């Protein structure tokens, strides 16, 4: 009896010492398992009660229960201390100093090309145009034949135009002789005239594709805004006035502009508009009076209606607006560049 009581006291004291000196919650869990777990010495004594007489079992059982209660209370006290210390350290590490200046996230913005395109379409809407958009995959008829481009026009070659399907003059059952990625937004002129009657004033923004090698002023995919006006009494003076107003609204009233005579199969007479880019003239658009053959392809009588049309390279206009020296910067997605414009 005395030996059992001594063992219980030793087990209790060793367990209390280990519980009270545990430095971490993991050490405390290990100490609790050693003192109170299924394989602990105290549990072994408790299991041996069945082999004892009634009086001895009552006495030893009371001592075991008292030791277990002390150990349980000590474990709870130490756990509360360790959890409080853990929370204190965690809160200190995660403390937010509300007196520090806030970290303001970088604000995004429109890409220079789309900002220029939106600005230009806003200007044209202010001049009475409406915005119209069309397919990027076009038929050869809408893109060349209806726009008065002869069969041997160089733009039809594989070196200039990206074809999706080329039938070499043999029409499909639906009458289409070729399908291509549009090299200009001009096919929408035909689609618009076929769909509605004058007066027509539309601005046509969109992406276009050409078989160009990327360099400082050319890209194989770029953006245009096309303008088409068809009415009964339009003149070349109306065309020049509209372009000057739009260019100055976009580039500033002080921008230097010049018109040069040019040739396009779908306009006659034709011209190009250049803007001064600090050290050189840069072509920004081609324009002219809509050719009578184009009006006929659009289902309109050239004796009754006249029109003018123009197409502007938005990417080059963005270069002028933002002082960009190389067109390739617009497609490289360099955040340092995009943040600077």
Question: Mean of the per-residue pLDDT values for the chain?
Answer: 87
**The domain that contains 218 carries what CATH number?**
3.30.930.10
What's the pLDDT band for 316 if we cut at 50, 70, 90? confident
Mean pLDDT of 183-202: 95
How confident is the model at residue 4, as a pLDDT? 81
The encoded tokens of residue 229 equal 């006006």
**What pLDDT, on a 0 to 100 scale, did the predictor assign at position 42?**
81
For residues 48-62, one letter each, b for 16 or more C-beta atoms within 10 angstroms of the residue's C-beta and e for the rest, the string is: eeeeeeeeeeeebee
Instruction: Give the gyration radius of the chain's Cα atoms.
Output: 42
327 and 234 in a common domain: yes
Q: In this structure, is residue 72 part of a structural domain? A: yes
3-state secondary structure of 335: helix
Assess whether 128 and 69 both reside in one domain.
no
**Is 160 part of a structural domain of the chain?**
no
Q: Are 69 and 131 contained in the same domain?
A: no
- CA distances for 269 relative to 19, 94, 172, 240, angstroms: 100, 73, 35, 12
Strand 130-131 to strand 200-209: parallel, antiparallel, or no bridges (unpaired)?
parallel
CA-to-CA dists, residue 18 to 13, 24, 29, 70, 185, angstroms:
9, 12, 11, 13, 84
Residue 330 belongs to domain spanning: 112-135+183-340
Q: Is residue 153 part of a domain?
A: no
Bond prior to 199 in cis (omega within 30° of 0): yes
213 and 69 together in one domain: no
- 253 assigned to some structural domain: yes
Contact 146, 190 (CB under 8 A): yes
Q: Are residues 217 and 334 in the same domain?
A: yes
**216 pLDDT band (50/70/90 cuts)?**
low
Residues 87 and 116 in one domain: no
CA 326, 327, 328, 329 dihedral sign is positive
Tens-digit pLDDT profile for residues 157-184: 877 888 888 766 666 666 677 899 999 9
In a shared domain, residues 323 and 192: yes
Domain-located, residue 227 = yes
Is 128 a domain residue? yes
Residue 124 shares a structural domain with residue 272: yes
In the DSSP assignment, the letter for residue 215 is B
Residue 62 covered by a domain: yes
| Domain contains 242 | yes
102-119 pLDDT tens trace: 888 877 788 889 999 999
User: Per-residue pLDDT tens for 120-161?
Assistant: 999 999 999 999 999 999 999 999 999 999 888 888 887 788
Asked if residue 191 and residue 45 are part of one domain, the reply reads: no
The residue out of 63, 93, 123 marking a domain boundary is 93
What's the rounded mean pLDDT across residues 217-225?
83
Of 93, 126, 158, the domain-final residue: 93
231 and 329 share one domain: yes
Q: Does the pLDDT at position 236 exceed 90?
A: yes
Distance from C-alpha of 228 to C-alpha of 188, rounded to nearest angstrom: 9
Residues 240 and 187 in one domain: yes
Please identify, among 93, 125, 157, the residue that sits at the C-terminal boundary of a domain.
93
Name the domain count of the chain: 2
Q: Are residues 8 and 59 in the same domain?
A: yes
């Amino acid at each position: 009896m005395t030996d059992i009581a001594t063992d219980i006291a030793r087990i209790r004291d060793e367990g209390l010492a280990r519980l009270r000196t545990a430095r971490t919650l993991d050490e405390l869990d290990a100490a609790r398992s050693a003192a109170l777990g299924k394989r602990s010495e105290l549990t072994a004594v408790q299991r041996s009660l069945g082999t004892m007489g009634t009086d001895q079992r009552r006495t030893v059982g009371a001592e075991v229960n008292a030791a277990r209660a002390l150990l349980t209370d000590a474990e709870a006290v130490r756990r509360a201390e360790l959890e409080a210390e853990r929370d204190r350290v965690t809160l200190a590490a995660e403390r937010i100093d509300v007196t520090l200046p806030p970290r303001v996230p970088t604000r995004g913005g429109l890409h220079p090309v789309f900002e220029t395109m939106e600005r230009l379409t806003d200007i044209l809407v202010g001049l009475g145009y409406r915005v119209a958009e069309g397919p990027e995959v076009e038929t050869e008829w809408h893109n060349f034949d209806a726009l008065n481009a002869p069969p041997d026009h160089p733009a039809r070659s594989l070196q200039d135009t990206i074809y999706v399907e080329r039938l070499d003059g043999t029409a499909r059952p639906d009458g289409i002789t070729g399908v291509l990625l549009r090299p200009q937004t001009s096919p929408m002129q035909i689609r618009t005239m076929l769909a509605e009657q004058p007066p027509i004033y539309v601005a046509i923004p969109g992406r276009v594709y050409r078989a160009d090698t990327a360099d400082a002023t050319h890209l194989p995919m770029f953006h245009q805004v096309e303008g088409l006006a068809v009415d009964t009494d339009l003149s070349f003076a109306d065309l020049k006035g509209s372009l000057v107003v739009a260019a100055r609204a976009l580039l500033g009233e002080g921008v230097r502009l010049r018109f040069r005579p040019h040739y396009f199969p779908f306009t006659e007479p034709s011209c190009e508009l250049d803007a001064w880019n600090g050290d050189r003239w840069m072509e920004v658009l081609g324009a002219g009076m809509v050719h009578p053959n184009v009006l006929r392809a659009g289902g309109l009588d050239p004796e009754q209606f006249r029109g003018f049309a123009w197409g502007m390279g938005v990417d080059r206009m963005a270069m002028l607006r933002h002082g960009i020296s190389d067109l390739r910067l617009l497609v490289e997605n360099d955040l340092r560049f995009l943040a600077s414009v």
